[in-house]
Structure 1
Amino acid sequence: MRLVRNRRIKYGWIILTVLLMIVTVRLAWVQLVMKHQRVPGSRHTMVEASLIQRERGIVLDSGRGHFTDRHGQALTGGLTWAAVLFPVTEKELNDSKTQIDRLAKILRTDAKHLKQVWGKQREPQLWHGKNAAIPLTLSKDQILQIQELHLPKVKILPYEQRYGNRQSGMQWLGFVSGQRKESLFYQDEPEITGTSGLEKTLDALIRGDGSTIVYYPVNSGNEVIQDLKPMVKAPSNPYYPLRVVTTVDAKIQQGIEQLTETAGMKEGAVVVLDTRNADIVAMVSRPFYNPESIQPEDGAWENRGIKAKAPGSIFKLVTAAAVLEHGLSTEDEVFHCDGEYGKFGLSCWKEGGHGTIGLREGFAESCNVVFAALSERLTASQMQSAAAALGFGQTVGWEARDFLGLPTLRPLDLEQKGTVFSDKADAGDAGVRVQTGIGQRDAAVTPLQAANAVVTLLHGGVKTRPRILKQIHYANGQLLKEANLLAERPAKGGISRRTSSILLEWMEDVVQDGTGSSLKDRKWKLAGKSGTAQVTIKGRPRNNQWFIGYGPVEQPRYAIAVLVENRSPNSRNQATDIFGQVADLLASLESGSKSGSGSSSES
Structure 2
Amino acid sequence: MWRKRAIGWLVICITGLVLLLVRLMQIQLIETETFSKHNVNLLEESVNQRTQELVIDNGRGNFLDRNGTMLTHKKVSVLVLFPFLKKTDWDIEKVSTISGISVNSLKFAVDAAKKPFAFGDPEPIELTTSQMKRINQLKIPGVFAIEKKFERSSIPAEQLIGLTGENAKELKERYPSKELSEKTLLGVSGLEESFDEFLLPEGKSKLVYHVDGGGAPLFGINVKYVDPANPFYPVNIRTTIDKDLQQKAEDLADQYQIKKGGLVLLNIEDNSVLAMVSRPAINKKDPYNGAGITNLMVKQQIMGSVFKTVVAAAAMDHNLDDPTRLFDCSKKINGRPESKYNYGMLNFTNSFARSCNRTFGELAKELQKTDPHLLEDYADKLSLTGSVGWQGEVYHTSDFKQLGDEDKGRVFLSDEARKDPNFIAMSGIGQHEVRATPLAVANMMATIARGGKKEMVRAVSKIEYKNGTTMVDFPEESLNGDSISPYTAMKLQKLLREVITNANGTGRWFKDLPYEVAGKSGTAETGKFKDGKQLHNKWFAGYFPFQSPKYALVAVNLDVIDSEGGINLLFADMVKALYEKDTEKE
* TM-score bucket (shorter structure): 0.7 to 0.9
Secondary structure of the residue aligned to 2:346 is strand
2:557 match: 564
Secondary structure of the residue aligned to 2:161 is coil
Match of 2:302 among 310, 331, 334: 310
Q: For 1:296-319, what per-residue CA distance to the aligned partner results, in whole angstroms no more than 9, with x for missing partners?
A: 332212212111110010000111
Q: Does 1:173 align with 2:161?
A: yes
Deviation at 1:484, TM superposition (A): 1.2
Call closer, same or farther: CA 1:38–1:229 in 2, change over 3 Å.
farther
1:268 match: 261
Q: Structure 1: how far apart are the matches of 2:107 and 2:215?
A: 27
Q: For 1:179-213, what per-residue CA distance to the aligned partner results, in whole angstroms no more than 9, with x for missing partners?
A: 89xxxxxx957311111111111010121321112
Call closer, same or farther: CA 1:295–1:425 in 2, change over 3 Å.
farther
Secondary structure of the residue aligned to 2:302 is coil
Q: Does 1:503 align with 2:495?
A: no
Q: Structure 2: how far apart are the matches of 1:127 and 1:72?
A: 25
Q: Structure 1: how far apart are the matches of 2:570 and 2:43?
A: 61
Q: Structure 2: how far apart are the matches of 1:565 and 1:103?
A: 50
Deviation at 1:127, TM superposition (A): 9.2
Match of 1:219 among 212, 218, 232: 212
Match of 1:467 among 440, 443, 458: 458
- Root-mean-square deviation over aligned CA pairs: 3.8
Q: Aligned partner of 1:369: which letter?
A: R
Deviation at 1:444, TM superposition (A): 1.1
Secondary structure of the residue aligned to 2:471 is strand
* 1:145-224 map, 5 Å: 160-166=148-154, 168-178=156-166, 190-224=183-217
Confirm or deny: 8 A CA contact 1:268 1:305 kept in the other structure: yes
1:13 match: none
Confirm or deny: 8 A CA contact 1:528 1:550 kept in the other structure: yes
Call closer, same or farther: CA 1:263–1:40 in 2, change over 3 Å.
closer
Q: Aligned partner of 2:196: which letter?
A: D
Call closer, same or farther: CA 1:49–1:374 in 2, change over 3 Å.
closer
Call closer, same or farther: CA 1:565–1:158 in 2, change over 3 Å.
farther
Deviation at 1:269, TM superposition (A): 1.6
Call closer, same or farther: CA 1:106–1:435 in 2, change over 3 Å.
farther
Secondary structure of the residue aligned to 2:538 is strand
1:7 match: none
Match of 1:239 among 208, 232, 238: 232
Call closer, same or farther: CA 1:332–1:163 in 2, change over 3 Å.
farther
Q: Does 1:456 align with 2:444?
A: no
1:57 match: 53
Confirm or deny: 8 A CA contact 1:79 1:158 kept in the other structure: no
Range moving further from structure 2, 539-548 or 306-315: 539-548
2:74 match: 78
Call closer, same or farther: CA 1:275–1:188 in 2, change over 3 Å.
closer
2:62 match: 66
Call closer, same or farther: CA 1:436–1:179 in 2, change over 3 Å.
closer
Q: Does 1:427 align with 2:423?
A: no
Deviation at 1:293, TM superposition (A): 4.9
Q: Structure 2: how far apart are the matches of 1:363 and 1:334?
A: 12
Range moving further from structure 2, 65-74 or 54-63: 54-63
Q: For 1:473-518, what per-residue CA distance to the aligned partner results, in whole angstroms no more than 9, with x for missing partners?
A: 1111112221011114762xx4222211111101111001101001
Confirm or deny: 8 A CA contact 1:167 1:288 kept in the other structure: no
Call closer, same or farther: CA 1:556–1:352 in 2, change over 3 Å.
closer
Count of matched residue positions in the alignment of Structure 1 and Structure 2: 510
Q: Structure 2: how far apart are the matches of 1:433 and 1:316?
A: 13
Deviation at 1:228, TM superposition (A): 2.1
1:543 match: 536
Secondary structure of the residue aligned to 1:487 is coil
Q: Structure 2: how far apart are the matches of 1:188 and 1:551?
A: 49
Q: For 1:18-58, what per-residue CA distance to the aligned partner results, in whole angstroms no more than 9, with x for missing partners?
A: xxxxxxxxxxxxxxxxxxx996559xx99999766532334
Q: Aligned partner of 2:406: which letter?
A: E
Deviation at 1:552, TM superposition (A): 0.8
Confirm or deny: 8 A CA contact 1:172 1:413 kept in the other structure: no
Q: Aligned partner of 1:173: which letter?
A: I
Match of 2:327 among 335, 340, 344: 335
Q: Aligned partner of 1:502: which letter?
A: K
Call closer, same or farther: CA 1:283–1:46 in 2, change over 3 Å.
closer
1:184 match: none
1:443 match: 434
2:9 match: none
Confirm or deny: 8 A CA contact 2:34 2:42 kept in the other structure: no
Match of 2:311 among 319, 328, 347: 319
Range moving further from structure 2, 225-234 or 552-561: 225-234
Q: Does 1:137 align with 2:123?
A: yes
* TM-score (norm. length: structure 1): 0.76
Confirm or deny: 8 A CA contact 2:119 2:125 kept in the other structure: no
Q: For 1:208-248, what per-residue CA distance to the aligned partner results, in whole angstroms no more than 9, with x for missing partners?
A: 32111222211134544494222221111111111121111
Deviation at 1:409, TM superposition (A): 1.6
Call closer, same or farther: CA 1:138–1:425 in 2, change over 3 Å.
farther
Structure 2 alignment gaps of length 5 or more: 1-29, 36-40, 85-103, 169-179
Secondary structure of the residue aligned to 1:172 is helix
Q: Does 1:285 align with 2:278?
A: yes
Call closer, same or farther: CA 1:301–1:546 in 2, change over 3 Å.
same
Call closer, same or farther: CA 1:336–1:241 in 2, change over 3 Å.
same
Q: Does 1:477 align with 2:474?
A: no
Secondary structure of the residue aligned to 1:426 is helix
Secondary structure of the residue aligned to 2:301 is coil
Call closer, same or farther: CA 1:244–1:61 in 2, change over 3 Å.
same
Q: Structure 1: how far apart are the matches of 2:296 and 2:265?
A: 14
Match of 1:393 among 382, 385, 388: 385
Secondary structure of the residue aligned to 1:472 is strand
Q: Structure 2: how far apart are the matches of 1:521 and 1:105?
A: 61
* 1:24-35 map, 5 Å: none
* 1:345-364 map, 5 Å: 351=340, 353-364=342-353
Range moving further from structure 2, 76-85 or 316-325: 76-85
Q: Does 1:553 align with 2:546?
A: yes
Confirm or deny: 8 A CA contact 1:274 1:559 kept in the other structure: yes
Q: Structure 2: how far apart are the matches of 1:40 and 1:425?
A: 60
Q: Structure 1: how far apart are the matches of 2:567 and 2:69?
A: 29
Percent identity of paired positions between Structure 1 and Structure 2: 27
Secondary structure of the residue aligned to 2:159 is coil
Q: Aligned partner of 2:326: which letter?
A: V
Deviation at 1:578, TM superposition (A): 1.4
Q: Structure 2: how far apart are the matches of 1:59 and 1:178?
A: 17
Secondary structure of the residue aligned to 2:293 is coil
Q: For 1:442-482, what per-residue CA distance to the aligned partner results, in whole angstroms no more than 9, with x for missing partners?
A: 11111110010011112222210110110111111112221
Call closer, same or farther: CA 1:347–1:568 in 2, change over 3 Å.
farther
Confirm or deny: 8 A CA contact 1:61 1:159 kept in the other structure: no
Q: Aligned partner of 2:353: which letter?
A: A
Match of 1:255 among 227, 248, 273: 248
Deviation at 1:172, TM superposition (A): 0.6
Q: For 1:387-407, what per-residue CA distance to the aligned partner results, in whole angstroms no more than 9, with x for missing partners?
A: 111112221111112x13334
1:30 match: none
Q: Structure 2: how far apart are the matches of 1:452 and 1:39?
A: 53
Secondary structure of the residue aligned to 1:219 is coil
Confirm or deny: 8 A CA contact 1:77 1:160 kept in the other structure: no
